Structure 1
Amino acid sequence: MPLPSDEKVVQTSSAIVSTLHSIFGPHPGFRPAHAKGVLLKGTFAPTEAAKALSKAPHFNNTSTPIIVRFSSSTGIPEIPDTDPNGNPRGFAIRFLLAETPRRVHTDIITHSVDGFPGSNGNDALEFFTALKDGSIGDYLASHPKALAFIQAPKPTPSSFGKEKYFGVNAFKLIAANGKETFIRYRIIPEADEEYLDDIALKEKSPSFLYDGVSESLKAGPIVFKLKAQVAEDGDVTDDNTIKWPEERQVVELGTIKLESVIDDQAAQQKRIIFDPIPRVDGVEASADPLLDVRAGIYLLSGRERRAA
């Protein structure tokens, strides 16, 4: 995973990482955002619709092994699961495409709010700087995109497996016949969504979401459907804050089946660096400028984590 080639993008990514450390405090060995998490392993099985949309191997192989990370917001590793600041929750997927002659993988990164506080890296840096400086109220008053993200509902789920997740950036799927389709990912639980009100949340333990992962697995796999909202001509694909109409077609791409928690969590959490850029034949990044900045943030923070 290389750093973005644009030096300004790298500078912005580095500044965001530093700002997040300032907000949440340095926690060596942990991510500056979504520090608290758990890794699971399982499989992904694609649909015929996925095969028609993309020539990427994970959308055409019968089954692909995956690693998934559930996570909580903030850079605080011990944030209680009952703290509303832990929302939105994160859901990242790594598709393990090959081990030899070299490791090949591609990732999808989502969270539980269909939104982000800005259109690009500068917006994100200004937002987090305002949080750090305590000027967030004034910032939100003059930045409607950030205000919309802050005001978006962020309920706490009863379990990670009963929440839906959104990929906020657009991507281009490329079929074997060359047809190109812009999409945004959605991850929908097979179990019904379920969220807790304030009264129910007060009765939960500080680790109920993470304890619940192992408990859920005792009853069988945790299952999700990977879906894609399909853009139509004229839909904006290079600004994550501009949403497509809800009546746009949503296609099911496959089934995510999570079967066990990964051993040696501490070491694996430090090592794995998810990548917002697909880097696989059959899926391409859109022109959304936020993607390169996110990739820089993930790589720089990952290098810090591994060195800690």
Structure 2
Amino acid sequence: MPLSTSEQVNATAEALLGGFQAAFGKHPGYRPAHSKGTLVTGTFTPTTEAAKLSKAQHFNSPTSITVRFSNSTGIPVIPDTDPNASPRGLGLRFNLGGRQHTDIITHSTPFFPVKTGEDFLGFLGALGANAAYKGESPTPLETFLGAHPETLAFIQAPKPTAESFVGLSYFGVNAFKLIAADGTVTTVRYQIHPTVGTKELSAEELGTKSPNFLFEELPERLAPGPVELKLVVQIAEEGDPTNDATVHWPESRGVVELGTLKLEAIEPEPKNAEDQKYIIYDPIPRVDGVEPSDDPLLDVRASLYLISGRERRAAPELQINL
């Protein structure tokens, strides 16, 4: 009997978890991707334009937020100076009261390597096969990239590292629907942009930095007072694809500022480590006023995060040494 859609999604998510663990090793208690991170608390204040676009609670009143900055890969101790630590991640949680929340997940490049969970499995498989391949060209990875130019574009895309996590722009590659009070639907992609000027580092400059320089810099940055980031949306027009995260919408599309993220403090240890282990950021909004699009990655990502999150929560107590 063929699998149902939900069963297929969960099977793909399980396979992806195995693929990430095969690529980066098993690290109980840590995320399979973007393992190395830290939590910052603060407040989101929406603009009047946000309230026009969505009836969601967090777009109509100030809301407590929990932000997680992270490095790429599933290696919990990857140096901040390692090129594979980019793109950086920013997970944004709006705390709506009680156990209610809604999340936005972004990373520091507008590119994404694949359009489906099955393609991601193929990519991870090619990476794994490439490591053991001793033959002539084309390698397994070259063969995969030849058939998937969108993945090659992601690999070749710039992935800058700035002097600070708060000096980068972050992009949500999936599309969502904002639902206004009168029922008007606006299809968007999220972006988060800095308000402070920081220098983009060259490879040579990165080589002079501490392995944990971004995690060391962030508390110093926040010590004098809060730092702000701007949450905006790019608005789709008719014909813009909403089911393919690898396709960019034209730069000419309208951009609307939704509000300000005021980052106030690093969450102290041991609560920081405990909450990172516990929090499962959810790609599906699950809040009145915001709905998922038809992007097939959303359900797969949500299932993967839930499965890996449950595994993470069941792991022994973490020992984090940044």
Give TM-score, length-normalised by structure 1.
0.96
User: Which segments of 5 or more consecutive residues in structure 1 lack a partner in the other structure?
Assistant: none
Query: SS at 1:91's partner residue?
Result: strand
Render the CA deviation track for 1:156-177: whole Å, top value 9, x for unaligned. 1211010000000000000001
Other-structure match for 2:305 = 298
Render the CA deviation track for 1:63-95: whole Å, top value 9, x for unaligned. 100000000000000000000100000000000
Determine the C-alpha separation between the residues in 1 that align with 2:235 and 2:147.
32
**Residues 142-161 of structure 1: pairs in structure 2 closer than 5 A:** 142-161=147-166
Q: Report the CA distance between 1:192 and its aligned residue.
A: 2.5
| 1:268 maps to which of 270, 275, 280 | 275
| 1:116 maps to which of 91, 112, 118 | 112
**Residues 62-211 of structure 1: pairs in structure 2 closer than 5 A:** 63-99=62-98, 103-134=99-130, 135-211=140-216
Determine the C-alpha separation between the residues in 2 that align with 1:262 and 1:190.
22
Render the CA deviation track for 1:27-58: whole Å, top value 9, x for unaligned. 01001100000001000000000000000000
Whether contact under 8 Å (1:164, 1:193) holds in the other structure is no
CA RMSD of aligned residues (A): 1.1
Other-structure match for 1:42 = 42
Determine the C-alpha separation between the residues in 2 that align with 1:75 and 1:222.
28
Render the CA deviation track for 1:220-244: whole Å, top value 9, x for unaligned. 2121000000011121111111211
Determine the C-alpha separation between the residues in 2 that align with 1:269 and 1:66.
14
Name the aligned partner's letter for residue 141 of structure 2: I
Determine the C-alpha separation between the residues in 2 that align with 1:142 and 1:193.
38
Name the aligned partner's letter for residue 285 of structure 1: P
Count how many residue pairs are aligned between Structure 1 and Structure 2.
301
Question: Following TM superposition, where does structure 1 have runs of at least 4 consecutive aligned residues deviating by more than 2 angstroms?
Answer: none
Other-structure match for 2:285 = 278
Name the aligned partner's letter for residue 89 of structure 1: R
Render the CA deviation track for 1:194-222: whole Å, top value 9, x for unaligned. 31001211111001000011010112212
Identity, in percent, stands at 57
Name the aligned partner's letter for residue 128 of structure 1: L
Name the aligned partner's letter for residue 242 of structure 1: V
Q: Report the CA distance between 1:138 and its aligned residue.
A: 2.1
Give TM-score, length-normalised by structure 2.
0.92
